[in-house]
Amino acid sequence: DVTRANGSSTVTRCYAEYPMKYLTPKRGIDGDCDCAWAYAVNMGGGLVSGDASGTTIRVDDGCALVLATQGTQKVYKHNKRRWDECEKADEGVGRSGVGETTSALYASVGDGGLLALLPDPTQLFSGAVFRQTQTIDIHENGSCVCVDWITAGRVGYGNERWAFERADVRTRVMANDDPVVIEATRLEASSRDSLNANVSLALRMGAVNVFASLIIVGSRVQDLAKSCGDWACASATRHMAQGGASWVRASPDALTQTDPRSTLFVTASDLPLPYPGVVLRFFAADSESVLDVLRKLLAPLASQLGAPPYDERGGS
């Protein structure tokens, strides 16, 4: 819970159990900025098959919170043999999702409040099965900034690209019980399209190694949403004049001779009134390209958060 204490946004209640814990620095990066910070940490360095983590956040009226991470969230291999044995023991009753690694978040943001979810990317190992759901319920005058991104895995480890079994991630932003944004991505090793039934996910993803989304909603970040939308439109126009996202279908090895600026493509969708905002989606050949863009686009938030997003640790 983030409430007002001694005139500033403060984490007044925090409780955690395995596999997660939360670090809540008592002193903000900028002591004059009215914003609390918290860092989510995996106790074991990642999530294993069957792990289920859940987070509930409440940001009170007029308060602000940043929830970040200390590094990439790793999701390890799905232990299929172990969970198949459990299914047989229980005769498979009600266990369709058994063994999958799950992560759930629910957040409420009060009148004039601001929540910024700024995690590092999720890295899925070979054979992983991952499901993530995020629901952010904002007051009609509340605001949120939400980053969510997935990488291809351990690309440098025997070219382990897009080798997980399934990734199902969904973010829903609600206001006054009305859905404002529903952003969902589902990637599976086996294609449901009969034409691509024998084509691996790595081949279907082409040269893309990172998929990311950026959701910006609310009056406190209205100017930020406009600047990000304008940048995305200008970037897409420039890239379309230079061949668009044709590099996406190329072999990853072919990108070594390509202009690095062409290895990131972005799309933007404006949100309808009365909730000003924008949704950006990034397709990139490497996470560094996305990180550089996020730092640039979200830099104006420093005045509200107390530090530039993704740069508060000295640019590391």
- Percent of the chain clearing pLDDT 90 (strictly above): 59
Q: Which element (helix H / strand E) includes 261?
A: none
What tokens does 107 get? 């957040």
What tokens does 179 get? 């859905």
- Amino acid (one-letter) located at 122: T
The separation between the first and the last C-alpha atoms of the chain, rounded to the nearest angstrom, is 28
8 Å CB contact between 290 and 298: no
Phi-psi region of 162 (alpha: psi -120 to 50; beta: other; left: phi over 0): left
Mean pLDDT taken over the chain: 86
8 Å CB contact between 128 and 77: yes
**Which residue in 120, 110, 135 sits closest to 60, CA to CA?**
110
How confident is residue 50, by pLDDT bands cut at 50, 70 and 90? confident
**Which residue in 123, 128, 164 sits closest to 51, CA to CA?**
128
Q: How far apart are CA 51 and CA 82, in angstroms?
A: 14
Q: What is the pLDDT of residue 316?
A: 35
3-state DSSP percent of the chain in helix, strand and coil, to 5? 25, 35, 40
CA gyration radius for the chain? 20
pLDDT at 271 over 70: yes
Q: Which of 113-117, 132-136, 193-197, 279-283 has the lowest mean pLDDT?
A: 193-197
Give pairs for 14-17: CB < 8 Å, separation 24+: 14/38
Q: How far apart are CA 73 and CA 37, in angstroms?
A: 18
Q: What is the pLDDT of residue 93?
A: 45
Q: What single-letter DSSP state applies at residue 29?
A: S
Q: What is the pLDDT of residue 230?
A: 96
How confident is residue 95, by pLDDT bands cut at 50, 70 and 90? very low
8 Å CB contact between 50 and 79: yes
How confident is residue 86, by pLDDT bands cut at 50, 70 and 90? low
8 Å CB contact between 104 and 55: yes
How confident is residue 97, by pLDDT bands cut at 50, 70 and 90? low
Q: 22 vs 17, 18, 57, 76, 305, CA distance in Å?
A: 9, 11, 12, 21, 18
pLDDT at 315 over 50: no
How confident is residue 203, by pLDDT bands cut at 50, 70 and 90? confident
